[in-house]
Structure 1
Amino acid sequence: MPDLGHELTFGLFLPNPASQAATVVRLAQVAEQQGLDLVGVQDHPYNADLLDTWTLLSHLAAATSTIRLFPGVACLPLRPPAVLARSVASLDLLTGGRVELGLGAGYLLDAIGRMGGPWLTRGEAVDALADAIEVIRAIWTADEPITLGGHYPIESVAPGPAPAHPVGIWVGAYQPRMLSLTARLADGWLPSQAYASPDQTRDLNARMDEMAVDAGRRPADIVRIYNVNGRFGSAAGGFLDGPPAQWASQLTDLVLEQGFSSFLLAPGGDIVSSIECFAQEVAPDVRERVAAARRGGPAEPEPMARAAVTVAAPEGDDGIERDGSWGDAGGLPVQDRPRPPVLDPPAPSGPSHPDNFRNLVAIHDHLRAELEQIGQAVGQVAEGELTPAAARTLISRMTVRQNHWTLGSFCASYCRIVTIHHAVEDAHMFPGVRAAAPQVGAVVDRLEAEHLVIAGVLERFDRALVDLVREDGSSGPTDDGITEIGSLAEHLGEILRSHLAYEEDSLAVALTMMPAPV
C-alpha cells in the first residue's frame, strides 16, 4: 500500500506504574518539551500496579499545554461508552482539543469479569465494541435524545457535550473481525509492534484496505498509528535496533510503503535519552525523508556536507561564511562583535573533544535547514497553497521557533543526542565554555545578547502570522500581510545565519577544551 499522505506525528507510549507517579508525569512533560505530538497510555483497570488511565490523562492535561493525549487503548468493558463519551468530550473541551480516543474490545476477558465487568466471549466483545462506537458518536453529535439497543442500551439520553474538535476513534485490532470493524467504523488503526511486526502489518494493512473499500470507504479514511519499541546503538541490527538514521530509514519505509503516519515510542533503557533521541533525531529525519519523497525526490538524504568538519582556530578577520552573509544582528552591528581570542588547541595527548564542535555544527545545520522550510512555507502562503494557520503550526513545531537555536550542542556531547531544553542548556553550555576558556567571555556575552534579538524577531514573525490567520477569511490574507511575512522571514534568515556562523567560528577551539562527557 502506498503513502496515504497523512501528516506525520510522533509520540510517546507512556509507562504508567503507580509506584513512580511523579516520574510518569515528568516523562510526559519531557515528551512535550522535546516537541513530540502525542502521549498514549495503556488502560488495564484490573491491574493494581498501574495508575488509572483516565485519572492520569486528566492530570497530564493540566501538567502540559500542547501535547495531545489518548488512552491506548481504553478497556471498553470497564468504561461504559456513554460515560466515556462525556469524559472524552469534557477533557477535549478543557484542553482546547488535545484529546483522541483509542478503543479496544478488552484483552483479558476473565480479569475484566472479575473486576465487575461483563463476562463476554471474544465475538461478543467485538460486537459490543461496534455498539459502543455508535453510542459514543451519538453522544457527541446527536441533536435530540438518544435511544439505542445492543450491548449498551440507552434510552432517551440527552446528547452532549460535543468535543472541541472531531475526536479520532482509533481501534487496536489484529484479528479479522476486529480489522473489519476498524475498516468500517474507526478513524484510525492502532497496532503495536509487540503484537504485529512490520512484516505482519504489511498484510494486515492490505486486508484492512480491502475491507474499507468493500465498506464504501477509502483506505485514507483510516489513519495508521504504530506503537514501536527498539534500541538506539552505534551498530546496525534488526528493525529499530541501531543508530537514529537507521530508525529514520525504517520508519520512512513504513510511511511510504504501508501508509503509517504516526509512531509512538515505547522507550526502554535510559528512557529520557530514548525520548530525546526519538524526538530530536529520528522524527525530524523521517519528516525530511518523507517530504522529499512526496516531492518526487529520493527518500534517503544526501550525506551531510559537514560530516568531516575539521576543528581549527579561526583564521583571518572575516571568519568562515556558512550559508549566509555576515550582517547586523537586529540592531547589534556586526562590526561591534568581539573578535575571538587566539586559543591554543589542546595537545593531542590532552583533553581534546572535537565532538563538541561537530555537534554544534550538526544542530546549526538542522536550524539552517529549518530556515529553508520557513522560506518555502512563506512562499506557499503567498501562492495560496498553504493557509497562514497551517504555516504557523508548522513553524511553531520547529526547533528554531522554540528559542533553542544553538545551545543544544552541549547536551549532544554529553548525552549522545541533542537535548533541547533551555534550562539545562543555559545552565551548562555557556558556563562550560566560560570555565574552559575564560578568554571568550566577551564573545559569549555577545552571543547571549543576539539570542534576545533573535527571540524578538521570532515574536514579531509569530504576531504577523497571527494577524494573517485573522485576515484569512473568504477573501484570503492581504498582500501587505504577506509582504510583511516575507520581509520578516528574510530578516530572520539573515541574522540567524550570521549568528550561527559567528558562534561556530568564535567557539570552535573553546568547545574542544571543555571537559569530557560523563
Structure 2
Amino acid sequence: MRVSELGIYVPQIVSEFAPLLDIARTAERTGFDQLWLFDHLWSPGLPDHPSLEAWTTATALLTATTTLRVGALVLCNNFRHPVVLGRMATTLDVISGGRVEFGLGSGSIRDEHTRTGLAWGSAAERAGRLGEALEIITSMFARERTTFAGAHYRVDEVANVPGPVQRPRPPIHIGGAGPKYTLPLVARYADVWNIPTYGLPDQRRLSGLLDAECERIGRDPADIRRSHQAVLALAADERELPEVEARARRHFGADAFALDEGYVGTPSMVADQLAERAEQGLDAVIFMVGAKQAAATMELFAAEVAPRLPR
C-alpha cells in the first residue's frame, strides 16, 4: 500500500502574495497534489500580524497554477452563508477547471467571532449550523435548484447554474476528532475525513468510531478517504537532524501539533513512516510546514523522499 495523495499546508501568515505564489508553484513542480490554507480573519491570537484572506488567496493561486489543487483546512461555516459559499465554490471550480478541494468546519476561534459580531454559540449549535450548511451545499453541487428549511437556514428554489466541473462534486473534506458532533457529519457528508494534528495520537480509535457511525447510517466506510494533517520537519542527513528537530519543536512544540506523531527525520526515516501509515489505511497526508521552510522542504522531499515511496 502507499499514500496516494500528498498535500502541503502553509498558513498564509504573510504580508505579500508573491511568497505564497512561489510556494504554490514549487508544490506543483515538485509533485505535490494539494496546497492548503487556513480560514481565519487573522492569525489566531495575533490580530495585528499580517495575513491574507483564504478564499481570495485560493482563487489567485488556482488561476496562477495549472494542476495544483487548492483548498482550506477548513473554511469556517460562520463566515459565509451556505448559499453564497456554494456559489463561490462552484464558480471557482469552473474557473480552475475542477481543482477545488472543499473543506468546511464549524469554526474554532471564538475571539474572531465575538470581535466581528458573527454568530458563535455552543458546540452543538455550531454543529447544527454546519450540518444544515452541508445539506444545502451538497444539494447545490448536485442539483440546479435547492430548497431547504431548517432551524438555522431556509432557502427556496436557489439556482446554481452552471454546476461544478468535478463530478459528482468537488471533494468535501471535514476535519476534526469529536465523536459526538464531528464524526456523525463526516459519516453523512464527507468524501474525505481529515484528522488534525491534535487527533493523531487517537487516530485508530477515532477511525473505528467513524466506521461504526457509517455502519449505523448505512454508508460504506470505504467510501470515505482518510487523510491526516501532520508536521513535516525534513533533514537532509543525520548530521542536520538535531538542528531541524530543534527548530520544529520551537515552532510546533505545543501539544495541539502532536509533533511526536508527525514526520521528523531524514528522507529514509520519513519514507518509512509514510509506508507504515499507508499500511494503517491512510490515503493522504497533508504536511504542515512553516512558510519560510516550505519551498526547501518540498524540493528535498521530491528529490530524496518521493523516490523511496512505494509505487
> TM-score, normalising length from structure 1?
0.51
Q: Give yes or no for the alignment of 1:100 onto 2:101.
A: yes
Q: Give yes or no for the alignment of 1:155 onto 2:177.
A: no
Aligned to 2:173: 170
Q: Give yes or no for the alignment of 1:8 onto 2:4.
A: yes
Whether contact under 8 Å (1:227, 1:264) holds in the other structure is: yes
* Among 288, 291, 296, the residue aligned to 1:273: 296
Higher helix share: 1
Query: Aligned AA for 1:23?
Result: P
- In structure 1, runs of 5+ residues without a counterpart are 292-518
Cα distance in 2 for partners of 1:145, 1:131 equals 13
Aligned to 2:208: 206
Cα distance in 2 for partners of 1:279, 1:94 equals 29
Aligned to 1:218: 220
Partner-residue secondary structure (3-state), 1:190: strand
Aligned to 1:263: 285
Aligned to 1:253: 276
Shift of 1:248: 1.3
- In structure 2, runs of 5+ residues without a counterpart are 246-259
Cα distance in 2 for partners of 1:71, 1:50 equals 14
Query: Aligned AA for 2:17?
Result: A
Cα distance in 2 for partners of 1:104, 1:147 equals 20
Shift of 1:125: 0.5
Cα distance in 1 for partners of 2:218, 2:127 equals 21
Cα distance in 2 for partners of 1:144, 1:64 equals 31
Deviation sequence 1:333-372 (CA, Å, 0-9, x none): xxxxxxxxxxxxxxxxxxxxxxxxxxxxxxxxxxxxxxxx
Seq. identity, % = 31
Q: Give yes or no for the alignment of 1:141 onto 2:151.
A: no
Cα distance in 1 for partners of 2:42, 2:74 equals 14
Shift of 1:9: 0.8
Shift of 1:136: 0.3
Aligned to 1:84: 85
* Among 176, 185, 204, the residue aligned to 1:181: 185
Aligned to 1:240: 263
Shift of 1:147: 3.5
Whether contact under 8 Å (2:227, 2:282) holds in the other structure is: yes
Cα distance in 1 for partners of 2:158, 2:96 equals 25
Higher relative contact order (CA 8 A, sep 6+): 2
Aligned to 2:195: 191
Cα distance in 2 for partners of 1:45, 1:274 equals 27
Cα distance in 2 for partners of 1:24, 1:206 equals 37
Partner-residue secondary structure (3-state), 1:115: coil
Partner-residue secondary structure (3-state), 2:71: strand
Deviation sequence 1:422-461 (CA, Å, 0-9, x none): xxxxxxxxxxxxxxxxxxxxxxxxxxxxxxxxxxxxxxxx
Q: Give yes or no for the alignment of 1:35 onto 2:31.
A: yes
CA change 1:28–1:214 in 2 (3 A) is same
Q: Give yes or no for the alignment of 1:58 onto 2:59.
A: yes
Cα distance in 2 for partners of 1:220, 1:158 equals 32
Aligned to 1:425: none
Query: Aligned AA for 2:12?
Result: N
Cα distance in 1 for partners of 2:62, 2:294 equals 21
CA change 1:227–1:132 in 2 (3 A) is same
Deviation sequence 1:194-252 (CA, Å, 0-9, x none): x123x311221121111112121122111112122132233378652211111111112
1:487-506 alignment to 2 at 5 Å? none
Shift of 1:114: 2.5
* Among 11, 17, 22, the residue aligned to 1:26: 22
Query: Aligned AA for 2:184?
Result: S
Rg (Cα) greater in structure? 1
